[in-house]
Chain A
Amino acid sequence: MLLSEPESKALCDKLLSFVKADDAEVSVRSEVSSHLRFAANAFRTSGRREDTIASVTVWIDNKKGSASGNEMDDAALQGVVEQAEQLARVSPVDRECVPSLGPEQYSPTLAYVQATANISPAPRAKAIGDVIAACEKEKVVGAGFHEAEGSTIAGATRHGNFHYHRASRVSLSVTARTREGEGSGYFLRNHFDIARLETTRVAQEAIQKALRSRDPHRLDAGVYTVILEPQAVADLLGFFAFSFDARQADEGRSPFSAPGGKTKLGEKIFDERLNFYSDPWHPELPGSPVAGTGIPAQKFYLVRNGVLENLIYTRFWAKQKQKEPSPGPVNGILEGTGRPASLAEMIQETPRGLLVSRFWYIRPVDRRTAASTGLTRDGVWYIENGKIQYPVRNFRFNQSLLEMLAPGNVDLIGSAERVSSAEAQGAYAALLPPLKVKEFHFTSQSEAV
C-alpha cells in the first residue's frame, strides 16, 4: 500500500534515529503498480506489484556510503543504516561532499488521483476487452499495454529537511497491425487522472493509422522536409534533457560545449520561437515539488526564445562554479511563441515532404551535436502540393537534434500536448508540439512494417 505523509515521515525519522554518522540523507519510496498486456487480440499477462524501498546515504568524516533495502521492520531498517555507515567508514573521502539540506519550503503539486492508483481488475479487463473488440471489428490485429501506478517519495536529512510527494499515472498504448502485415499504427497517451485517459481515442487512432499505412510505396532515402507528430517529437527528444548537464558542458564533452573551453550558454542556438522549460505546477503536467538537487523546484527555463539560458547545476558543481544549484527540471515543456499551427495547416503548407507518426530505437551516435540514429515506425506518409498522397516504407535516420532545432530549420510549431516517449512505455510525460522541420536526414530504407 502507498504510504501517507505521516507514515513516510515516521519511517524517515526511524531511519535517522539509527544514524550515528555525521550527516545523512534518507528516503522512503512506496509504489503500487498493475498492468494488463494484450497481443494478437488476446490477453497475455496481467499482474500487480507493491514495494517499499528505504535508501540511506551517510557521511562519516566526509566519507560516503549508501545502502538500500525493501524490508521495513526495525531490524532491517537499522541494518540498512549500519550497512551504509560501514561502507562510508571504508570508503575514501568524498571530494564532492556537500552538507545535506536543512528545512526548505516545498510547494505541493497536484499529481495524484486515488482512482488511478486503485484501479481494479474487472473494469480494466472490460476497457481492454473493448479495445480488442474494436480491433476485431476493423479486421486488424491489436497489441497493447495498460498500466496504472501510484507512488510516494519522501526524503529527510539529518539537518532537518523533509519533503513528501505522491503521484499517479495511467498509460495505454495500442499497436494495430493489418492482418496481411502491410500496415501498422500506434498510439500512446498517459495521464495522472484515469478519468482523462481517452481509451477509445487511443485505440481508434492506432487502428486508423494501421489502415491508412497499408501498401506503402518505396521512396529513396535522403533529406526531406518532415512534419513530426507530437509522438515523434517525444520519441526524438526523450533523451535530450540529459544533455543539459553543466559539468559535462564545462568539461568539454557535451553538445553545449564550445571551442576554447567555453560553453554555448547565452547563445541563440535554437529557433528563436522555441522555449524549453520545466514547470512543477503545470496543471496538465504536474511535476515533483523537489528538484533533482533536493532544493524546491521552480519554473526553470533551459531555452528561452531560442537562447540556451541555463544548464543544470548540481549542488556540488554550482559551488565549484559559484552558481546557484538548478531548481529543475522536473518535467519538460517545449512551446513555440506565436500562433500555433495545426497539423492540417502544416500539411497544407508543404509542397513536398513526409508526415512521421513516430520513431523507434533511437540511440546517440555523436554527442558533440546530440546526433542520433533511429527509424520511423507505424506510419510515414508522403505529402505533395499540400496533400497526403500515399504511405511510404520506413526509413532510418541519422540526425543532429541541435541542427534539427537550429535557427532556420524549424518551419512551423504546433500546440504542445501531453505525450510520452514510446520507448519509456508511457512512464514519463512531456508537453510537446508537432513540428515542421525543413531538413531531416534519412540515410536508408527499412522494409520493416
Chain B
Amino acid sequence: MQPSRRRFLKTSGLVLGAATLPPWMLEREAAAAAAVDKVKLAEIALATARQLGVTYADVRINRYRNESIFTRERQVQQVARGQSFGLGVRTLVNGTWGFASSQNVTDDEAQRAARQAVEIAKANSVYERQPISLVPAAKVVTTWKSAFAKDPFDLPLDDKIEFLLKINETAMKVKGVNFVNSRLSFVNEQKFYASTDGSSIEQYIIRTAPSFSVTAVDFAKGDFQMRGSLGAPKVIGYEYLETYPWQTEAEQAGHEAVEKLQAKPVEPGKYDLVLHPTNLWLTIHESVGHSTELDRALGWEADYAGTSFLTPDKLGKFQFGSRLVNFLADRTQPQGLATVGYDDEGVPAQRWYLIKEGVFIDWQTTRELATLIGRPSSYGCCHADSWGSVPFARMPNISLEPSRDKIALDDLIADVKQGILIYGTGSYSIDQQRYNFQFGGESFWEIKDGKKGAMLRDVAYQSRTPDFWGACDGLGGEASYELGGALNDGKGQPGQSNAVSHGCPVARFRQINVLNTAPRRG
C-alpha cells in the first residue's frame, strides 16, 4: 500500500510552502530572454563575417536551462537549477573552419566573435590541405517546439521531490533493500540559428529524465548487487512522470536487487539470447549508430572515438545482419531524444534507412560530409551541445523496425532450448572500429526448453557486430517496441554530449558468447 501524500511529505521532512518558482522570477527570466534581439545580433555577426570574406557563416544564440533533483533513501541531497546563455559564430574562409563564442550576448561581442572566428580560419587556412565545401540548404525562417503537455520548468518542486521520495520509499519497503538513489533531470534548450543562407530558426526542446538505482547488500559476505531503472529519458514533458509506471518498477527493482544476491552465477558458454528493448537499445547505439557515421568512416574521429569497419566501399554491398534487420535513422521520431525540427546547420529533420534487409545502404551526413560522397543534400545530422561548441556530425535516433507480425516476448522465448533473457543496461564497451563488443544488463533470466526460469547473475555477452546482427532470427511485433536512449553520448574533440534514442522490439540472437563477470574465487 502506498502512503498518503500528506503522510509521505511529513515523513520525508518536506515542508509545503511556496512550492514553485514565484511569478516574478519567471517573468524576470522571460524579460531577460525577450531583451535580446537575436535576429539583429545574428545579422551583426553575419554582416561582419561577410565583410571579412567568408563563403559561409552561421550564428547560434542559445539558452540552456536544467533542473536536477538528487535523493537517496529518505533525504534530498541536491536541488539545483542552472542556466547557460551565449552565442557562437562559425565561419568558412578559404575552405577552412573557424569558430568563436561568447557568454556576453551583445552587439559588440557578436562582432568580436565573428572577427575572431574569421581570424582563426584564416590562420589555419595557410596550412589547409583539403578545402571544405558544403552542399546547399534551403533558406528557412521558422520556429519549432518539441511535443510536450506540461513544461516541467513551470511546475512545482514539491511534486517532483515527492515523486522521487515515493520511488525510494517503494523500493526501500522491499525486505533486503539497503539503499536507493534517485534522480530527476529536466533539460530545456532554447536554440536560435541564423546563417548566410538567409535562414533564421528558433527551436524549444524539453527533455525529461527520471532514473533510480536500488542496492541490496549482504554485509556478512561482503557482497552487494544493484538494479537500475529501465525507463529511458525522452523528449517529453512532466507528464512522463504520470504516465510511466515508475512506482511499480521501483518495487520490482527492489525485489530483483535482493534476488540477485542469491541468484545462480551464469555458466560461461554459448547461449541463445532474448534481449528486451531496455537492453538492446544500447547495443544498437554502439554497434549500428556509431558504425554508420560517415565522419568515422572517413577517419575524422580516428584520434578519439575511432573509425568504422563500415568503410565507404561497403556501401550497398555489405551484409550487416540477417534479412530481418532494418534500421531507420529518424530525427522526427516522437519522443526521440535527437528529434528536432532542424539540425544545427538549418537542414530539416528527416527519416531514412541505414540498413535494409540486413544490407548496409546509407550513412549519417552533414552538409560538409554530403559533399564528400557526391550527395546533393545533407540528412541533417549536425549538432552542437552548447553555444560555445563547434557543430559537427552527431547521431540521429536510430531504431530497429519491429516485425509486422504479432510476435510477443513469450513467442521468442518458446523457441529457445537454452538461453538467457536480459533486461536493462549494464556495463558496455566496444572497440574503435565497432567490431568487438561486450554488454551487461540489469537483470538476467535463464531460458530452458522454451520457458523463462530462474534469475542469473554476473552475465555479459560478447560478440562481433556483423556476427551478432547476422544471428538475429526473431523480432517482436509493434506491441513489444520501446524507446531507449541516453542524454550523454560522447564524441568529438573537445568532447560533446548528444541526446539520442533507439527504439526496438524484443529480439532473439542465436548462440552468442556469454561470460561470467564475477570476481574469481580462491
A complexed with B:
yes
Q: Which residues of A contact B (CB under 8 A)?
A: 33-37, 39-53, 63-72, 75-76, 79, 82-84, 86-96, 120-122, 124-126, 128-129, 132, 141, 143-145, 147, 173-175, 177, 184, 186, 251-253, 257-261, 360-369, 371, 373-375, 377, 394, 396, 398, 400, 403, 422, 425, 443-449
State the CA gap A92–B71 with chains docked (Å). 11
> What residue in chain B is nearest A55 (Cβ atoms)?
B82
Q: B211-224: contact bitstring with A at CB < 8 Å (1 yes, 0 no)? A: 00001011111111
> What residue in chain B is nearest A49 (Cβ atoms)?
B388
The minimal Cβ–Cβ distance linking A168 to chain B, given in whole angstroms, is 16
Q: Which of B25-59 contact A (CB under 8 A)?
A: 25, 28-29, 32
State the CA gap A87–B226 with chains docked (Å). 31
Q: Is the CB of A377 within 8 A of B432?
A: yes
Q: Is the CB of A46 within 8 A of B304?
A: no
> What residue in chain A is nearest B80 (Cβ atoms)?
A66
Given contacts A45-B392, A371-B519, is CB(A260)–CB(B222) below 8 Å? yes
State the CA gap A398–B217 with chains docked (Å). 24
The minimal Cβ–Cβ distance linking B463 to chain A, given in whole angstroms, is 9
Q: Is the CB of A173 within 8 A of B79?
A: no
> What residue in chain A is nearest B268 (Cβ atoms)?
A443
State the CA gap A252–B309 with chains docked (Å). 42
Contacts of A260 in B (CB 8 A): 219-220, 222
State the CA gap A144–B493 with chains docked (Å). 9
Q: Tally of A-B residue pairs with Cβ under 8 A?
A: 307
State the CA gap A259–B85 with chains docked (Å). 50
Q: Is the CB of A252 within 8 A of B222?
A: yes
Q: Is the CB of A257 within 8 A of B224?
A: yes
Q: Is the CB of A361 within 8 A of B130?
A: no
> What residue in chain B is nearest A136 (Cβ atoms)?
B129
Q: Is the CB of B77 within 8 A of A96?
A: yes
Q: B96-135: contact bitstring with A at CB < 8 Å (1 yes, 0 no)? A: 1111111100000000000011011101101111100000
Q: Is the CB of B438 within 8 A of A373?
A: yes
Q: Out of A43, A51, A361, A398, name the residue touching B124 (CB < 8 Å).
A: A43
Q: Out of B80, B129, B222, B390, name the residue touching A47 (CB < 8 Å).
A: B390
> What residue in chain B is nearest A443 (Cβ atoms)?
B515
Contacts of A444 in B (CB 8 A): 436, 462, 513
Top-4 shortest CB links A-B: A47-B99, A129-B127, A259-B222, A121-B123
Q: Is the CB of B431 within 8 A of A394?
A: yes
Q: Which of B462-480 contact A (CB under 8 A)?
A: 462, 464
- Count of chain B residues with a beta carbon within 8 Å of a chain A beta carbon: 104
Q: Is the CB of B224 within 8 A of A90?
A: no
The minimal Cβ–Cβ distance linking B310 to chain A, given in whole angstroms, is 12
Contacts of B88 in A (CB 8 A): 47
Contacts of A90 in B (CB 8 A): 15, 17-20, 156-158
Given contacts A39-B299, A251-B178, is CB(A128)–CB(B127) below 8 Å? yes
The minimal Cβ–Cβ distance linking A68 to chain B, given in whole angstroms, is 4
Q: Is the CB of A47 within 8 A of B98?
A: yes
Q: Is the CB of B81 within 8 A of A79?
A: no
Q: Is the CB of B25 within 8 A of A33?
A: no
State the CA gap A95–B14 with chains docked (Å). 12
> What residue in chain A is nearest B64 (Cβ atoms)?
A70
B243 beta carbon closer than 8 Å to chain A: no
Chain B CB count within 10 A is highest, among A36, A90, A257, A258, for A90
Given contacts A368-B224, A394-B431, A398-B517, is CB(A33)–CB(B494) below 8 Å? yes
Q: Is the CB of B431 within 8 A of A360?
A: yes
State the CA gap A363–B282 with chains docked (Å). 14
Given contacts A51-B388, A394-B431, is CB(A42)–CB(B517) below 8 Å? no
> What residue in chain B is nearest A145 (Cβ atoms)?
B493
State the CA gap A48–B432 with chains docked (Å). 28
State the CA gap A174–B302 with chains docked (Å). 9
- Chosen A-B contacts, 7 in total, with CB atoms closer than 8 Å, are A47-B100, A51-B103, A71-B83, A92-B14, A95-B75, A173-B303, A371-B517
Identify 7 new A-B residue pairs, CB closer than 8 A, beyond the known A50-B101, A375-B436, A396-B438.
A39-B299, A66-B81, A259-B219, A360-B431, A365-B427, A366-B517, A374-B429
Q: Is the CB of A52 within 8 A of B103?
A: yes
Q: Out of A89, A95, A251, A398, name the residue touching B13 (CB < 8 Å).
A: A95
State the CA gap A74–B520 with chains docked (Å). 59
B453 beta carbon closer than 8 Å to chain A: no
Q: Is the CB of A43 within 8 A of B127?
A: yes
B21 beta carbon closer than 8 Å to chain A: yes
Contacts of A175 in B (CB 8 A): 302-303
The minimal Cβ–Cβ distance linking A74 to chain B, given in whole angstroms, is 13
Q: Is the CB of B32 within 8 A of A76?
A: yes
Q: Is the CB of A39 within 8 A of B515?
A: no
Contacts of B219 in A (CB 8 A): 252, 259-261
Contacts of A79 in B (CB 8 A): 25, 28-29, 32
Q: Is the CB of A91 within 8 A of B76?
A: yes
Given contacts A64-B78, A366-B517, A368-B519, is CB(A147)–CB(B494) below 8 Å? yes
Q: Is the CB of A446 within 8 A of B83?
A: no
State the CA gap A329–B519 with chains docked (Å). 28
Q: Is the CB of A425 within 8 A of B22?
A: no
B204 beta carbon closer than 8 Å to chain A: no
Q: Out of B25, B101, B222, name the residue touching A48 (CB < 8 Å).
A: B101
State the CA gap A221–B37 with chains docked (Å). 61
Given contacts A361-B431, A446-B435, is CB(A41)–CB(B129) below 8 Å? yes
Contacts of A147 in B (CB 8 A): 493-494
Given contacts A252-B178, A363-B429, A364-B427, is CB(A46)–CB(B99) below 8 Å? yes
Q: Out of A36, A41, A65, A422, name the residue touching B79 (CB < 8 Å).
A: A65
> What residue in chain A is nearest B15 (Cβ atoms)?
A92
Contacts of A41 in B (CB 8 A): 129-130
Q: Out of A52, A86, A121, name the residue touching B120 (CB < 8 Å).
A: A121
Q: Is the CB of B430 within 8 A of A361?
A: yes
Q: Is the CB of B120 within 8 A of A89?
A: no
Contacts of A400 in B (CB 8 A): 519-520
State the CA gap A144–B76 with chains docked (Å). 43
Q: Is the CB of B493 within 8 A of A425?
A: yes
Q: Is the CB of B436 within 8 A of A253?
A: no
Q: Is the CB of B157 within 8 A of A87?
A: yes
Q: Is the CB of B12 within 8 A of A92?
A: yes
State the CA gap A63–B16 with chains docked (Å). 13
Q: Is the CB of B438 within 8 A of A448?
A: no
Q: Is the CB of B431 within 8 A of A144?
A: no
B179 beta carbon closer than 8 Å to chain A: yes
B460 beta carbon closer than 8 Å to chain A: yes
State the CA gap A68–B179 with chains docked (Å). 29
Q: Out of B301, B427, B494, B517, name the residue touching A35 (CB < 8 Å).
A: B494
> What residue in chain A is nearest B99 (Cβ atoms)?
A47
Q: Is the CB of B82 within 8 A of A258?
A: no
Q: Is the CB of B299 within 8 A of A448?
A: no
Chain A CB count within 10 A is highest, among B20, B303, B519, for B303
B228 beta carbon closer than 8 Å to chain A: no
Q: Out of B178, B302, B440, name the residue touching A365 (CB < 8 Å).
A: B440
B306 beta carbon closer than 8 Å to chain A: yes
